[in-house]
Structures are given as structure tokens and as C-alpha cells.
Amino acid sequence: MKPPPSRAGAFKYGPRPGTFVAGRGDLAERLQCGPEGGAVRAVGTAGVEAALGAWNAVMFEIKKICCIGAGYVGGPTCSVIAQMCPEIRVTVVDVNESRINAWNSPTLPIYEPGLKEVVEACRGKNLFFSTNIDDAIKEADLVFISVNTPTKTFGMGKGRAADLKYIEACARRIVQNSHGYKIVTEKSTVPVRAAESIRQIFDANTKPNLNLQVLSNPEFLAEGTAIKDLKNPDRVLIGGDETPEGQRAVQALCAVYQHWVPKERILTTNTWSSELSKLAANAFLAQRISSINSISALCEATGADVEEVATAIGMDQRIGNKFLKASVGFGGSCFQKDVLNLVYLCEALNLPEVAHYWQQVIDINDYQRRRFASRIIDGLFNTVTDKKIAILGFAFKKDTGDTRESSSIYISKYLMDEGAHLHIYDPKVPREQIVVDLSHPGVSEDDQVSQLVTISKDPYEACDGAHAVVICTEWDMFKELDYERIHKKMLKPAFIFDGRRVLDGLHQELQTIGFQIETIGKKVSSKRFPYAPSGEIPKFSLQDPPNKKPRV
């Protein structure tokens, strides 16, 4: 039934049955028909406003969720949502069949403390993992996009800009398989205005009986504590359009989180602010790590202890003590990618000074890795050629099996370039993953990995006959090793290079055993073996385009 025209503005049919558009000058607001199919009639401006308010007050209830992407964000996030919202059916989909099979098996594809218990409690009840992407999209009220957004390695913006090809592919697949009303939400870390790109694809492919709302809901979880962060978040951020329909979608997603998150911790913003807040948050955290790492270099030159300095400045409430742990450098999927994305955004918006400022965060991180590798080479009498070096830890941090942008990859590359034989041990990273990471075209050449790298089953095997032990990940188990047993089977002098400060409380004991200890941000040994300083290690980034094509 077509509603009669009013004096305030004529009604015309909207983009789907049961929807009309009220035209009042430049204002066009969609009005939903009543449950019996009758039109909402608005007489005069006040009537239009009242009808809009009544329509917007009707809460859209989310009963089925589809998450595209079964990785480190999508898998844990949707598992927790399923546990906290037993009345909502959650389906996680992915094109990678082996990954989905792993999610449906006793051995999950990722390691995260507490994740297995959550999955096993919900899987098969209201939590499902599938490769049937199209059907999951069709049935869902809410679709999360949680796919990878890697940094571009070629073309415009290479080395800085995010590659949104997977986001675009998701948007096209969603609009192809959707009908009726659906909320589409960015979960992936995306550049500012990515939601606008998704919306343009939706608008260009619109069809009758289709209304897609786009939200931004960035994830702030930290790997290693993801389940804890998801169940007790500092905040949940939801960004959407500042229109009645946009706000209705925002409130629908808020209702999902309000099952377990206090209302005051749920922040709603416009889409721009939500997207930029994610980049800014990771940039600030990375900045703090680079700041304390820069001070660690100064501490080593002066005799100060960076841990004592960090404690002193961290007691200032204006600064706080979080993220002031000096190390061999930050890694993971987000920090470097998001800072580089921020740099590219500033360059694109003609803010070169701001771009240069944030680029320094990445430069200090690269410097810290090269500096640590140089200390290893210099400490071993300026040569590591044909020497066995034990690498303890390959994940980018403890309590995760994620190796993306891990400092261990960079340290291993620098040592392989010098001809060192590496024996690598990590309690959670599979052998296959280590080999894949070190076989990256930018990391090694030809058969370098097969000739120089051995994956060890336990730390004692890795250290047997080694010239040096290099700790690259702060696994708690490394504090509890029998170092007297390790020392007996190492070549003398035996070196320990602690890139994570995990052995701070054992220095006296280790020196008594006979170890030569080098650590970040502190001079431990009063007497060091003389060496001739080596040349500077060249810069390297996994984001750089490879010098040769990868072998298929």
C-alpha cells in the first residue's frame, strides 16, 4: 500500500518492501512499515519525527552471528561471545578447511590460555566452525569481518599501507548472499575509513529487500591473555553512523556485549573515531616499548639498570608502569602493522612531521633488534660462523604460538647471515611454522634454512654443545631450567644472551656456574672478553618486498 502524500513531504518507496523514504528538503529518513504491512503515516514534520523515533526505539535483536575469519581474533572472540550469550548461535567460517578442522578437533589451531575450555564448553551447542561461508552469511543477523589485513609489499603504499583485498572480498561476498536487514561489523584492524569502503561496495550492489548497516568494533585483546581480556575488557568500542539506522545497529551490538560487560565500559562513537582509536591505542603501546628500549641502550653505555629506571619512572602516576619492560623488541600482528598504517595515513593527509614522529617508533624497534644481534656476534669474538647457537623461544611473546613479526625471526636472520648454526626450541610453536617463517624470501636464501637451522624437541637438546644460549621469548619455563646441566655440555666460555630479562634473579648463580651473561639494558659482567666491534648490521623488514620470487 502506498501511503498518501503529506504536506511535510511526499513519501516514496524505499529500497526494500515495507520501507518508505520521507523527503523533507535535504532530509531523507527511512521508515519501517508496521508488522501487518501497513505503512507508517507521518502528517507534518512532527509526525515524521515521531515516526522516526518510534521506529528507532524498536530494538533489533541479534540471534545469529557469523564471523568470517577463524584466526587469532575471530576464533577467541566468538568463542567467548558464544559462552556468554548461550541464546545466540555463533558460526565461525573460514576458507581454510584445515584450520576449521582443527577448530573442530581436540587440538585447536592456536594456543591461548583458557581458550580450549571455552571452545569445548560451547562447541556443538551454540558455537560452530564451518567452511560453508555463504549459508552462514545468509542466516546471520550480524556478520563480523575478522580477516587478515597485512601490510602491502608492493605497489602504492608498500611497506606501510594495509592491503584490504580480503576485506573487499568479504564485503562483496556478504552483499551477494544477504537479504533483509543485517549488521556488518569490522573486527579486523583496518585503516581509517575502511568502513566507508565497505559501505560503497554495499551501496553499489544494492538490491530490493536489503539493508546493510556497517559498524566498527575493534578488538583490544592481547595474545596470551585474550580470554581474560575478552571476559573482563577495559572497554568495548563500537562505532557507527550518526543516523537513526546507524544508532539502532550500534544499540543492537551493545545489547550483545551487555550480557557480561558493564554498560559504562561500552563506548559508542562515530565510525572514524572507532577506527582511529584502534590504530592510536596500538601506536601508543608500541611507543612506550620503543621509548624504554631506547633508554636500555643508554643504560648499557652508562652502567645504569633499565629495570631500575623503569620502576622509578613507572611510580609516577602520570606515566604508570605498564609497557615499560625493555626487551629485544616488540612483535605480533598488530603493533608494527598499525604504526606503519598510521604513518601512511599521515603521509596521505600531508602531515609529514606526524608521520616522521611515528616512524621513529618502528625505527627504534628495528635498531633494538640489530643492536642485540650485534652484541651476540661481538660477544662471540666477532664471529659466529659455523658456531652452534641455541635460540630459546620463537613466539613473539609468551603464552601464545603466534610468530608474526617475532623478534626471533629477525635475530635468526641476522645470525644466519653470519653463518651461525641455529638450534631453535619453543614449547608452543610447531616445527613447520618455524621453517615457514625462516624460509620467507626476505629472511633466507635457497637452502639456507635446511643447512643452518635445526628444530629441537627440548631446551637441553638445543643447548647441547652450543657456544651461546639466546633467549628471545619470555617463557616462564626458561627460569626453571637446570643451567648447571646446560653449562656442562656447552663449549667454554659459555654465553647467555637474555633478550627478555627473564633471568634477572639468577645472575649471581649463573655467574658462579661459569656463564658469561649479557642482557638488555644492564651491564652484568664486570669483565668482558675483548672483541673488535663489527660492522653495522643492515636494516631488514618482513614488510619489504622480497629480492627474489618465493618458490611455489
* Nearest in space to 335 (alpha carbons), one of 284, 296, 282, 404: 282
Of residues 182, 278, 428, 522, which has the active-site annotation? Answer: 278
Of residues 67, 334, 346, 463, which has the active-site annotation? Answer: 334
* Nearest in space to 335 (alpha carbons), one of 323, 346, 326, 347: 323
Q: Which residues neighbour 468 within 8 Å (Cβ) at sequence distance 6 or greater? A: 376, 379, 380, 387, 389, 390, 494, 495, 496, 497
Of residues 29, 112, 186, 219, which has the active-site annotation? Answer: 219
Is 219 known to be catalytic? yes
Q: What does residue 217 show for φ and ψ, rounded to 5 degrees?
A: -140, 70
Q: Which three cell numbers stand for residue 75?
A: 576464533
DSSP three-state, residue 292: helix
Contact, 389 vs 376, CB < 8 A? Answer: yes
DSSP three-state, residue 7: coil
DSSP three-state, residue 114: coil
d(CA 307, CA 523): 12
Contact, 116 vs 139, CB < 8 A? Answer: no
Specify the DSSP element, H or E, that contains 28: strand 27-32
The owner of cell 617463557 is: 475
d(CA 328, CA 386): 24
d(CA 178, CA 137): 7
Q: Which residues neighbour 224 within 8 Å (Cβ) at sequence distance 6 or greater? A: 112, 113, 397, 398, 399, 400
Q: Which residues neighbour 504 within 8 Å (Cβ) at sequence distance 6 or greater? A: 307, 498, 519
Start-to-end CA span in the chain (Å): 60
Contact, 477 vs 392, CB < 8 A? Answer: no
Q: What does residue 532 show for φ and ψ, rounded to 5 degrees?
A: -95, 125
Is 278 known to be catalytic? yes
CB burial of residue 163 (10 Å; 0-12, 13-18, 19+): middle
Catalytic residue set = 219, 278, 334
